Amino acid sequence: MAFLQHKLLLSSLLIFRIIVEVSSRGAVYTPPSVELLTGRFNHVSVNQGFSVSYGASHVRWINNGSYADLSLDKASGCGLVSKKKYHYGFFSAAIKVPAGFTSGVVVPFYLSNKELFPHNHDEIDFELLGHEKERDWVLQTNMYGNGSVSTGREEKFYLWFDPTAQFHEYSILWNNHHIVFLVDNVPVREIIHNEAISAAYPLKPMSAHATIWDGSQWATHGGKYPVNYRYAPFVASFGEMELEGCILQQNSSTPSCSRSGLSSLDPVEGEEFAKLSQQQITGLEWARGKLMFYSYCKDTSRYKVLPPECNAK
């Protein structure tokens, strides 16, 4: 009898522990089924598609360059930049972020042309933000077009998985019709290229970037929870890269493919990429309904007059 009571007590404690751990990470959700967009494109080894942009001593190539570990410590962060520039395309990375206390650590995967157009650059961002609560991470998406950096178009999401436990795919589809942010192929955000957003819609060629850096001053309530380097180094792993699209030819302003019309020959500008499928729409609605906790379009304290695309929704 005593043995049975002891066993029941252990079972109860295990269930309690599981509940506490799940509660500390928020609600657990299962995403709807969506088409595997990442399955349509080939993987590129990280060292084939990217060069080191800074912090070379903090970059470690894994498995002959198929993967790369990027580390942040008190001395430096580091970054990679794609060897080619693209007028539009599909860009994806499998990422595993550091575990433990990661407040202030930022792991971005993004597109930018700041080096080419410093005063009117474009940018499309995925940013994984280390949270002040241990083991928690937040996903932020953002976009700038034609130097519109004074208008942040951030949206923030909780994740439905532990991003430190294994690799997960973060993908950007960018063409003349829309920009779609996808996590494990589930769309979490769509920016439709319409008249309301046209002045700030990215259209100039961009490079892909993968970095890790100290975002203490803005990522944690204005520096309230800065990076604690007692827990360094912080290591983010990247792999399974996909870079597919309209490549800017060297010493030319002309892309190597046409972006006019809906050509079925264009890998990311054709009809099947012009709008979301019904499955993808269902996934988008699920992600935004269950996981999004901040949108600039609802931030009336920040914007007394909301950006025009907010009113067009």
β-bridge mates for residue 138, sequence order: 129, 158
Q: How many residues does the chain have?
A: 313
Compute CA distances 10 → 13, 18, 22, 164, 233, whole Å: 5, 12, 18, 28, 36
Q: What is the dihedral of CA 275, 280, 283, 289, to 10 degrees?
A: 20
What is the residue type of 57?
S
Q: How far apart are CA 154 and CA 157, in angstroms?
A: 10
Give the residue numbers annotated as catalytic, written as ranges: 123, 127
Q: What is the DSSP string of 217-271?
A: HHHSTTTTS---GGGPPEEEEEEEEEEEEEEBPTT-SSBSS--SS--TTSTTTSG
